[in-house]
Structure 1
Amino acid sequence: MAPEVSPSQATNATEPPCRNARMQPTKYDHGWRRVVRNFTPSWFSVTMGTGIVSLLLHNLPYNGTWLYWISVVIFALNVLLFITGSIISILRYTLYPEIFLAMIKHPVQSMFIGTFPMGLATIINMFCLVCVPAWGEWARYFAWGLWIFDAVVSVMTALSLPFILMANGGETHLSSMTAVWLLPIVSCIVAASSGAIVAEVLPNPQHALWTVIISYVLWGIGLPLALMVMVIYLQRLVLHKLPPKAVIVSVFLPLGPLGQGGYGAMKLGQRAQEIFPKTHTLQEASGPTFYTLGFLVALIMWSFGLVWLFFAIASIAHNKKFPFNIGWWGFTFPLGVFATSTCQMGSELPSNFFDILGTV
């Protein structure tokens, strides 16, 4: 059986054959070229984690002006990290085009391409919350354009990468499967919830309606597929036991589609309740029905998320010690989106329980 591979261990598989191991180091082994050559897509998980932190601080139930400005600072840092990562990635695949094909065919590294649209989605959300109120009309359509680009990339990622995994000539063993298979799929769910936030700032109700409908389609593409992958992952855990310590943090990743899926269902339900009557879409009761069903779906998904949260915490407690690596960003985004779903449920219900739990 093929062993599991951590993101850092997988980097070498995408390096170009620049030199023989016995030859002297070349210019590609020093300075900025070395950084560019070894900059894998997994680094965009940093923007995902940073982005969800800025969103959480901005939307915290028990908030304050000082937390708002901290969220703005982290948002600006996230934009800087995303732009820097994008520039380095463009340089990498321009200078070393052979790396791109090697990366696409790699069963671990290719999955991290999904972190790019998810990182961008966190920026779009904060742009709508912070920049649109400050900058006015043009910012609304700029956010809409960014979201359209993000949605297209998310669909391409969610559909193409699993197919490449199926069509790849090498055999894939169940024991080598990790929760990173969820990353390209979850990008569609993240884009769907982001679409609900973008629709809220669009002045044209018809544009907002298109955005909501497309967001429901994205939600429908991502969530069922993510649930199927989670079934395979549960089977892998039962048959082949917990992942190695180097990638044990990946057990938190199933919280991502459940937390973000529930949050997206509630936000899309809110937008449907507001937009459907304005655009005379379906019947008069359709908007409130979508809103109510969205909360029901979110509550069920939140409850299912508790199961995976228990498995994740129990797995970490069982391992006790595990090495620090880039995979630790796997803590931040899944727990972050589960917290956003919890806080959103608190804002929908006349109860402080979810507000307090989400804040904790």
Structure 2
Amino acid sequence: MGTGIVSILLHNLPYNGIWLYWISVVIFALNVVLFVTGCVISALRYILYPEVFGVMITHSVQSMFIGTFPMGLTTIINMICFVCVPVWGEWVPYFAWGLWIFDAAVSVLTAVSLPFLLMAHGGETHLSSMTAVWLLPIVTCVVGASSGAIVAEVLPNTQYALWTILVSYILWGIGVPLALMVMVIYLQRLTLHKLPPKAVIVSMFLPLGPLGQGGYGAMKLGQCAQAIFPQTHTLEQASGPMFYTIGFLVALILWSFGLVWLFFASASIARSRTFPFNIGWWGFTFPLGVFASSTCQLGSELPSRFFDVLGTILSLCVVGLWIMVSIGTLKGVVSGKLFLAPCLADLRVPEDDKNKDGGKAA
């Protein structure tokens, strides 16, 4: 997700150049390699050790990270639309559309099933143990909605584009309200139980994800509706411009709300001063990245340089954070100290059970 959003930001940077375009293409290729590698490793993990999947899917924290799979795929889909469609021919939009349909289905399944498992499985969940990772499975629908708008823009068939837009609005309607409800609970948790531990303090940036991507998706869907609705005779003649205007208004409100969470997160980091490096540091990149995307999109809609300049600054900050976290990750991979699977603590090893039975018999 973090690598993918960096490639998108560099490709869509307001103040751009051909050299930045090629850097974005290289990072896009790296993102594809990372995504495929991660999928293969995960598949092998659950094929070779099927019992691990059961404890992972019922773990209150680690199961939430399943949402990173469809969100990581959307960054690839978006770059296919930006980079490959203009070069590789007419089959590429339909290939991207197929990937998006699969991604949308997985996103909905993730967004509704994982919160339900959290409600239905195991014992009581305490408010003090809640983290912002609860947002991860829900944001998949928000990210899928904005990706649907990008795919709809490149589809040659207007009827297919119309259905993609409508489904994307449904995804947006599932993800954004649910994410806002979770953010209310998270704000209550922060108020009653104070800031999270330093090890997970970076998760304070996660609420920027649904707000930034929700605003970006609202604007892109409004653009598509303005172009596609008249061509397909959908609703009234003025419906497209109305969707576009409302989308911009909603995006501006969500962006403004994002400023509040950006302050909370930045103030939390400043108060913590030092905190240990872990894989959670990737939480810096994607939420800030989608907030930067929303800022850049606001700049493209308005005759004002403010959002262009601010979007460029935020985008470059995300690139810098991505470089820093990538270096730390490589060091952690080499040392072998980076990766941790908390759910394995709940795994019952057959040998241990035999030892316990033997002890009881003795």
C-alpha distance in 2 between matches for 1:91 and 1:333:
26
C-alpha distance in 1 between matches for 2:207 and 2:267:
14
Cα shift at 1:315: 0.2
* Corresponding residue for residue 350 of structure 2: none
C-alpha distance in 1 between matches for 2:38 and 2:11:
24
5+ residue gaps, structure 1:
1-47
Q: TM-score, normalised by structure 1?
A: 0.87
Q: How does 1:24-43 map to 2 (within 5 A)?
A: none
Which of these residues, 209, 233, 240, is aligned with residue 280 of structure 1?
233
Residue by residue over 1:177-226, the C-alpha shift from the partner in whole angstroms, topping out at 9 and shown as x without a partner, is: 00000000000000000000000110000000000000000000000000
Confirm or deny that 1:250 pairs with 2:239: no
Residue type of the partner of 2:172?
W
Residue by residue over 1:117-140, the C-alpha shift from the partner in whole angstroms, topping out at 9 and shown as x without a partner, is: 000000000000001111111111
* Corresponding residue for residue 329 of structure 2: none
SS in 1 for 2:16: coil
* Corresponding residue for residue 285 of structure 2: 332
Confirm or deny that 1:76 pairs with 2:24: no
Residue by residue over 1:269-297, the C-alpha shift from the partner in whole angstroms, topping out at 9 and shown as x without a partner, is: 00000000000000000000000000000
* Corresponding residue for residue 224 of structure 1: 177
* Corresponding residue for residue 310 of structure 1: 263
C-alpha distance in 1 between matches for 2:16 and 2:309:
12
C-alpha distance in 2 between matches for 1:130 and 1:89:
28
Which of these residues, 223, 229, 232, is aligned with residue 270 of structure 1?
223
* Corresponding residue for residue 333 of structure 2: none
C-alpha distance in 2 between matches for 1:291 and 1:129:
21
C-alpha distance in 1 between matches for 2:89 and 2:42:
32
SS in 2 for 1:323: coil
* Corresponding residue for residue 162 of structure 1: 115
C-alpha distance in 2 between matches for 1:315 and 1:209:
43
C-alpha distance in 2 between matches for 1:103 and 1:343:
37
Q: How does 1:49-128 map to 2 (within 5 A)?
A: 49-128=2-81
C-alpha distance in 1 between matches for 2:115 and 2:261:
23
* Corresponding residue for residue 199 of structure 1: 152
Residue type of the partner of 1:266?
M
Q: How does 1:162-201 map to 2 (within 5 A)?
A: 162-201=115-154
5+ residue gaps, structure 2:
314-362
Residue type of the partner of 1:355?
D
Residue by residue over 1:149-187, the C-alpha shift from the partner in whole angstroms, topping out at 9 and shown as x without a partner, is: 000000000000000000012110000000000000000
Residue by residue over 1:49-103, the C-alpha shift from the partner in whole angstroms, topping out at 9 and shown as x without a partner, is: 0000000000000000000000000000000000000011110111011111100
Identical pairs, percent: 83
Residue type of the partner of 1:288?
P
Cα shift at 1:145: 0.2
Residue type of the partner of 1:181?
W
- CA-based RMSD: 0.4
Confirm or deny that 1:212 pairs with 2:168: no
Residue type of the partner of 2:231?
K
C-alpha distance in 2 between matches for 1:287 and 1:199:
15
* Corresponding residue for residue 214 of structure 2: 261
C-alpha distance in 1 between matches for 2:122 and 2:259:
37
Residue by residue over 1:215-269, the C-alpha shift from the partner in whole angstroms, topping out at 9 and shown as x without a partner, is: 0000000000000000000000000000000000000000000000000000000
C-alpha distance in 2 between matches for 1:136 and 1:56:
24
Confirm or deny that 1:298 pairs with 2:251: yes
Which of these residues, 221, 241, 254, is aligned with residue 194 of structure 2?
241
SS in 2 for 1:128: helix
SS in 2 for 1:172: coil
**Alignment length, in residue pairs?**
313
SS in 2 for 1:107: coil
C-alpha distance in 1 between matches for 2:50 and 2:92:
35
Q: Which runs of 4+ in 1 moved over 2 A?
A: none
C-alpha distance in 1 between matches for 2:79 and 2:123:
41
Confirm or deny that 1:354 pairs with 2:354: no
C-alpha distance in 1 between matches for 2:75 and 2:55:
28
C-alpha distance in 1 between matches for 2:47 and 2:305:
52
Residue type of the partner of 1:79?
V
C-alpha distance in 2 between matches for 1:354 and 1:113:
33
Residue type of the partner of 1:208?
A
